[in-house]
Amino acid sequence: MSKNKKPTKWMKLDNAALIYPATMNRNWTALFRLSATLTEPIDEDILEVAQKRTLRRLPWFAYRLKHGLFWFYLEHSDDLPKIEKDVANPCVRMRLNENDGFCMRVRYYQNRIAVEFFHVLTDGTGGQVFLQTLVAEYLRLKYSVNIPRGDKILDCSEEPKPEEAEDSFAVYSGKITQTRKEVKAYHINGTDERNGFVHIITGSMNADDVLAKAREKSVSVTEYLTAALILSVDAIQRRKVPSIHKYKPVKLSVPINLRNVFPSKTLRNFANYVNPGIDPRLGEYTFDETLNIVHHTMAMEVTKKLLNVKITTNVRSERNTVLRLTPLFIKNMALKYVYSQVGDVLSSTTISNLGVARLPEEMAQYVRRMDFILGPLADNRVCCAALTYHNRLRINFTRTIAEPWLEREFFTRLVKLGIPVKVESNQRE
Amino acid sequence: MSYCVNCGVELQKSEPRCPLCGTEVINPNELKEEKPIRPYPAHVEHLDKNIDRRYIASFVSLLLLIPLFTAMLANILVSKQLTWSYLVLGGELVLFTVFLLPMIARMPKILYAVIDASAVSVLLLLIRVLTQSSWRWFLLLGLPITLLTTVMCWFFAMMTLPKCKIPVLIRFTFALTCIGLLVVAIDFFISLYKNAIAWPTWSLYVLFPCLVLASSLLILNRRARVKEELKKRFYF
């Protein structure tokens, strides 16, 4: 797309996004949410203008999901999504017809701006660029502050760049594929929450404390948290399942940002998953043993070559002629079946760590806090997401069952490991 | 600053009780403080209620009464008695037991198969009575084929259960063999009904391809590499 040309009016879903519209239903959409809490209450009018300018720079987020004969596709809209007031249960399913067909929604409450994205559009990294650009634009309009722009905070006076909308899976796929077959994992079950209330419990801690603990064991923060979470799920299984012979593996799905491995500038989905875990039937694992397993699984699987094989497997399935020629309604059924076999079922829960959000000083003085929340998953009833900002690591647990077993097990474990945790939640009074 | 005495975590001021264990927070030093702002608003966005399949199935069952009563009324008005409308009753009974009953009543799965087979048998019986034909076709053709087909459907249903540990290729082998044998059995009963020698004829054209395919799958199942390749190729 050359300069001055309007953005493409429609685009195909990227390879990772294909599964989400097929698996969505009237009560569940694959969502995630990023939010920034500012120092002053939000002005809705200014936010609306900021959103308009951000969408002009990032038109990839103003696309509507449409049905084709063979595939879903995204169609650009010149309209703007409505700014909404926030609700008590974030990431509750997105009704596309009520949202004017848009796959994202901007919500505000007190000092907080939150953007909820349907996964067909983007992943956490792309979402973070959108939120940071939106907040920068809001602050510029409200306080006339001059915020330096770059890769993470885009300049809204610039034209959109085509590489930002690239399907990088197709670009970086290779020749060799592998089977997706894996052993199914243990799932935490509990009492269904009436009306589908989504519980959020946020645990915040000093990021330096966690980093120091992780360094002590020569692992990364993500690996440290993953090991603690694996043992927390393991403890729940040991309490709930009476016989050792009925224990299932405890595995966690850890999303990997492929932009760190492949030189992509895309703002659409470009992530893959690694599922490190333990087999509790073999005995009780110590924290150090679990850390060791997680660390080495990650080291072994997060390599350019192995990730390339995983990407290729997915891209090959998409290019299968029979699948391509199958009408969408049949394809949806097939994809639903595939997801039931190789989706959430392979992991006990998900832990997504977006890393550290760094804002320029001009902007950081107005932004008090940033959060990352995963929407409820299809089969797993609890999942969590982490983001560090201003030296506070915030881990947000999302739960669709009444019992906070995993959160309690995890946060008390961190306290026992010597990391003080402060919690807050969306519990009803 | 309050801590949960049970969990050891610090609680944000907005928390009326520990979200991890439900223990109430009472800090004697902070009793008179203003109510802090909650991290989320009070308004809850509700989900649609789940589709009540049982309710819908009961409703459709009631709707089925309309064509039944219409048929009966027409039957009485024209013939002055109930005759052919019994066939509508039998047909609707089969429809109800096969599609609607599993949504309305929960019972052991084997019972569904028994009830479905009974409903089909009742329909066949009604046909026999109304057409005033002999018992021969009912006993030699209708009933055995219905029972055999039910047993086979039950067998297939068991094999598709997630609990089933039999490898997929072996399941297909069983399924193909069963289809072949069912066709032979149908051929046998037809021959018996015709008073002919009960020796399979046309059904062999179905049986042999089924057996050949089944044995090929059996052989493929022994080759781990081919099996893996098939899994990959047929993955969709």
Q: pLDDT tens digits, residue range B137-181?
A: 888 889 999 999 999 988 888 887 777 778 888 888 999 999 999
d(CA A171, CA A157): 28
Residue A286 lies in a domain: yes
Last residue of a domain, one of A150, A165, A180: A165
Beta bridge partners of A33: A116, A373
Q: What is the model's pLDDT at position A378?
A: 86
Q: Which residues contact B33 (CB under 8 A, 6 or more apart)?
A: B13
Residue A341 lies in a domain: yes
List the single residue in A with minimal CA-CA distance to B227.
A179
* CATH value at residue A133: 3.30.559.10
**Structural domain span for residue A108:** 10-165
Contact indicator for A252, A276 with CB cutoff of 8 Å: yes
The shortest C-alpha distance from A85 to chain B (Å) reads 9
More confident: B51 or B60: B60
Residue B211 lies in a domain: yes
The shortest C-alpha distance from A177 to chain B (Å) reads 8
| Residues A384 and A321 grouped into a single domain | yes
Please answer yes or no on whether B40 and A90 come within 8 Å at the CB atom: yes
Q: What is the model's pLDDT at position A225?
A: 97
Residue A97 lies in a domain: yes
pLDDT digits (tens, 9 = 90+) for A316-348: 888 888 888 888 889 988 888 888 888 889 999
> To which residue do tokens 């997060």 refer?
A302
| Residues B66 and B128 grouped into a single domain | yes
Going by pLDDT thresholds of 50, 70 and 90, the confidence category of residue A7 is very low
Q: What is the mean pLDDT of chain B?
A: 86
Nearest CB neighbour to B48, from listed A26, A420, A425 = A26
| Residues B109 and B74 grouped into a single domain | yes
Q: With 90 as the cut, is the pLDDT of residue B89 above it?
A: yes
Q: How far is CA A215 from the centre of its chain?
A: 25
Please answer yes or no on whether B9 and A320 come within 8 Å at the CB atom: no
Residue B208 lies in a domain: yes
Last residue of a domain, one of B133, B148, B176: B133
* CATH value at residue A218: 3.30.559.30
| Structural domains in chain A (count) | 2
d(CA A277, CA A107): 36
More confident: A196 or A409: A409
List the single residue in A with minimal CA-CA distance to B7.
A412
| Residues A235 and A293 grouped into a single domain | yes
d(CA A46, CA A362): 19
Helix, strand, or coil (residue A335): helix
Please answer yes or no on whether B20 and A422 come within 8 Å at the CB atom: no
Q: What is the model's pLDDT at position B18?
A: 93
| Residues A99 and A236 grouped into a single domain | no
Residue B155 lies in a domain: no
| Residues A209 and A159 grouped into a single domain | no
| Residues A68 and A110 grouped into a single domain | yes
| Residues A198 and A160 grouped into a single domain | no
Contact indicator for A70, A331 with CB cutoff of 8 Å: yes
Residues of A within 8 A of B50 (CB-CB) are: 27
Q: Give, rounded to a whole angstrom, the gap between the first and last alpha carbons of chain A.
A: 53
| Residues A230 and A327 grouped into a single domain | yes
pLDDT digits (tens, 9 = 90+) for A197-223: 899 999 999 999 999 999 999 999 999
Q: What is the model's pLDDT at position A178?
A: 82
Last residue of a domain, one of B80, B114, B133: B133
Average pLDDT estimate for A301-316: 92
Going by pLDDT thresholds of 50, 70 and 90, the confidence category of residue B236 is very low
Chosen for mutation from B1, B3, B4, B7 (greatest number of chain A CBs closer than 10 Å) is B7
Residue B151 lies in a domain: no
| Residues A161 and A294 grouped into a single domain | no
| Residues A367 and A279 grouped into a single domain | yes
Please answer yes or no on whether A320 and B18 come within 8 Å at the CB atom: no
Helix, strand, or coil (residue A119): coil
Q: What is the model's pLDDT at position B229?
A: 65
Average pLDDT estimate for A424-429: 87
| Residues B63 and B116 grouped into a single domain | yes
**Structural domain span for residue B63:** 53-133
Beta bridge partners of A37: A112, A369
| Residues A251 and A332 grouped into a single domain | yes
Nearest CB neighbour to B45, from listed A92, A412, A428 = A92
| Residues B75 and B104 grouped into a single domain | yes
Q: With 80 as the cut, is the pLDDT of residue A266 above it?
A: yes
Going by pLDDT thresholds of 50, 70 and 90, the confidence category of residue B31 is low
Residue A184 lies in a domain: no
| Structural domains in chain B (count) | 3
Q: What is the mean pLDDT of chain A?
A: 92
Please answer yes or no on whether B15 and A412 come within 8 Å at the CB atom: no
Q: What is the model's pLDDT at position A202?
A: 96
Last residue of a domain, one of A146, A165, A184: A165
| Residues B17 and B58 grouped into a single domain | no
Contact indicator for A36, A370 with CB cutoff of 8 Å: yes
Q: Tally A–B CB contacts below 8 A.
A: 109
Average pLDDT estimate for A118-144: 95
Residue B15 lies in a domain: yes
Last residue of a domain, one of A165, A183, A208: A165
Q: What is the model's pLDDT at position B235?
A: 47
| Residues A315 and A221 grouped into a single domain | yes
Residue B158 lies in a domain: no
The shortest C-alpha distance from B188 to chain A (Å) reads 38
| Residues B176 and B113 grouped into a single domain | no
Q: Give, rounded to a whole angstrom, the gap between the first and last alpha carbons of chain B.
A: 55
Residues of A within 8 A of B39 (CB-CB) are: 202, 424-426
**Structure token pair of residue A299:** 């080291």
Residue B141 lies in a domain: no
Residue A203 lies in a domain: yes
Average pLDDT estimate for A22-45: 92
Residue B33 lies in a domain: yes
Residue A16 lies in a domain: yes
| Residues B64 and B33 grouped into a single domain | no
| Residues A288 and A153 grouped into a single domain | no
Residue A181 lies in a domain: no
